């Protein structure tokens, strides 16, 4: 075990998977940077968030492809190559730009397997930095994972720790289905212990990060970190919570959710997305349908408001669900009579 950042963990996987399998290639805007520049510095950025650093010098331009600004073809090209036997890892610079590639994701990648009666294989990974909290405004801060999760045929992965980043990205690259991999922009610098050597986390297995009999907190992505903060405070108040980190929202670990709900009967779901058609509403619906008899209080959903992400600092701070919002929701289900 060594302490690494989330960014380093991801970077390491890209290196090791490209080394391991010559079919793996990466593509995206400025994933190396510097092409056509006047300084001759060929790796000028290593990705805008540094996740793809060092790949170009090591694996060369054929497999580390800096692209023009053409999201639809960045993804479509990776999808096409994957149908033809390669394993494309495409980077979309900001999750918001997924909308420009949505045809290739939703209409193409997601459906080949099904429509070919199980003959086609589309082992593509689309990496997307997502999320609010960095004052980037309405078109550079959205979550998008709620939309992706809703699409049959796409897998949706959301690591919350450097170790999970490693285990899940390795699984994603080796998976034979299209995987959309969500990395929260505010988490790249976060640190944690990462297992050495090969490390794979199978999809569909939530992690139980805290155990308590009073309330089940179900969260994904950065919201898991906020839930952890909230749990510490609540413990001092005598409230003990389960914390379920979904890790993959599709496939969804339904058993982990139901087991916890059965134990506590009180549920708070924390989701950075806007509330309509969110993961929060989806999972709340699932619990009501499948775990109703365990419930002792209405399921609470902590989400962003039904509005675009505002730019002004004060507003954005209030927009994103906070540890305080989570604590308030937990107290509400505890106090429900």
Partner 1 sequence: MSLQQSRDQLLGAYRQMKTIREFEERLHKEIMTGEIAGFTHLYSGQEAVAVGVCQHLDTEDLIVSTHRGHGHCIAKGCNVKGMMAEIYGRSTGLGKGKGGSMHIADFDKGMLGANGIVGAGGPLAVGAALSAKLDGKGKVGICFSGEGSINQGAVFEAMNMAKVINAPAIFIIEINGYSEHTGASYSVGGVDIAKRTEGFGLKTIEADGCDYHAVYDAMAELLDYSRSGNGPSAAVFNTTRFFGHYEGDPQNYREKNEVKDHRSTRDCLKKFCKDNLPSGIVTQSELDEIDASVMGLIDEAVTEARNAPPTPMEEMEADVYISYE
Ligand X SMILES: Cc1ncc(C[n+]2csc(CCOP(=O)(O)OP(=O)(O)O)c2C)c(N)n1
> What is the rounded CA–CA span in Å between residue 101 and residue 71?
5
Is 15 a catalytic site residue? no
**Contacting residue, 93, 110, 209, 333, with ligand X by CB under 6 A:** 93
Specify whether the CB–CB gap between 77 and 27 falls below 8 A: yes
* Candidate list 15, 140, 184, 306, residue with the active-site label: 140
Q: Is 97 in the site for ligand X (CB under 6 A)?
A: yes
Q: Is 305 in the site for partner 1 (CB under 8 A)?
A: yes
Q: Which stretch binds ligand X (CB under 6 A): 92-100, 129-137, 155-163, 192-200?
A: 92-100
3-state helix, strand, coil in the chain (%, to 5): 40, 20, 40
Q: How far is CA 155 from CA 116, 125, 179, 182, 241, in A?
A: 18, 9, 5, 11, 28
Estimate to the nearest angstrom the gap between the alpha carbon of 269 and the chain centroid: 16
Residues 215-244 that bind partner 1 (CB under 8 A): none
Q: How far is CA 273 from CA 228, 281, 334, in A?
A: 19, 10, 24
Q: Is 60 in the site for partner 1 (CB under 8 A)?
A: no
- C-alpha dihedral sign at 325, 331, 332, 333: positive
With contacts defined by CB under 8 A, how many residues of the chain interact with partner 1?
A: 44
Residues 44-83 that bind ligand X (CB under 6 A): 69, 71
Q: How far is CA 17 from CA 14, 37, 144, 311, 326, in A?
A: 5, 29, 26, 38, 38
**Contacting residue, 23, 135, 150, 205, with partner 1 by CB under 8 A:** 135
Q: Which residue is nearest to ligand X (CB)?
A: 97
Nearer to ligand X, 29 or 253 (CB): 29
Nearer to partner 1, 25 or 199 (CB): 25
Spatial CA neighbour of 51 closest among 21, 96, 6, 94: 6
Q: Is 277 in the site for ligand X (CB under 6 A)?
A: no
Residue 308 C-beta: closest distance to partner 1, Å = 7
Q: Is 29 in the site for ligand X (CB under 6 A)?
A: yes
> What is the rounded CA–CA span in Å between residue 256 and residue 20?
33
Interface positions with ligand X (CB under 6 A): 29, 69, 71, 93, 97, 100
Interface positions with partner 1 (CB under 8 A): 29-30, 33-41, 44-45, 48, 66-73, 96-97, 100, 134-140, 305-308, 310-315, 318-319
Residues classed as catalytic: 140
């Amino acid at each position: 075990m060594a302490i690494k950042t989330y960014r380093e963990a991801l970077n390491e996987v890209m290196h090791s998977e490209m080394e391991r399998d010559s079919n793996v290639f990466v593509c995206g805007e400025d994933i190396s940077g510097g092409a056509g520049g006047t300084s001759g510095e060929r790796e000028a950025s290593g990705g805008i968030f540094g996740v793809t650093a060092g790949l170009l010098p090591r694996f060369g331009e054929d497999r580390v492809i800096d692209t023009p600004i053409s999201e639809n073809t960045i993804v479509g090209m990776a999808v096409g190559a994957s149908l033809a036997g390669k394993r494309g890892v495409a980077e979309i610079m900001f999750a918001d730009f997924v909308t420009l590639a949505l045809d290739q994701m939703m209409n193409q990648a997601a459906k080949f397997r099904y429509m070919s009666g199980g003959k086609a294989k589309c082992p593509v990974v689309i990496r997307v930095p997502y999320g609010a909290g960095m004052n980037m405004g309405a078109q550079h801060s959205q979550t998008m994972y709620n939309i992706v999760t809703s699409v049959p045929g796409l897998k949706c992965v959301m690591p919350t720790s450097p170790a999970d980043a490693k285990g899940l990205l390795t699984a994603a690259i080796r998976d034979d289905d299209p995987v959309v991999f969500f990395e929260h922009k505010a988490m790249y610098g976060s640190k944690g212990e990462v297992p050495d050597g090969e490390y794979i986390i199978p999809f569909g297995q939530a992690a139980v990060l805290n155990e308590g009999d009073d309330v089940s907190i179900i969260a994904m992505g950065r919201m898991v970190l906020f839930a952890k903060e909230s749990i510490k405070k609540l413990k001092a108040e005598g409230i003990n919570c389960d914390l379920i980190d979904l890790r993959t929202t599709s496939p969804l670990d339904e058993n982990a959710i139901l087991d916890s709900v059965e134990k506590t009967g009180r549920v708070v779901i924390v989701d950075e997305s806007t509330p309509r058609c969110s993961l929060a509403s989806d999972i709340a619906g699932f619990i009501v349908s499948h775990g109703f008899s365990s419930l002792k209080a209405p399921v609470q959903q902590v989400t962003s408001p039904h509005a675009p992400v505002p730019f002004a600092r004060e507003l954005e701070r209030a927009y994103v669900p906070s540890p305080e919002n989570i604590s308030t929701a937990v107290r509400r289900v505890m106090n429900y009579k």
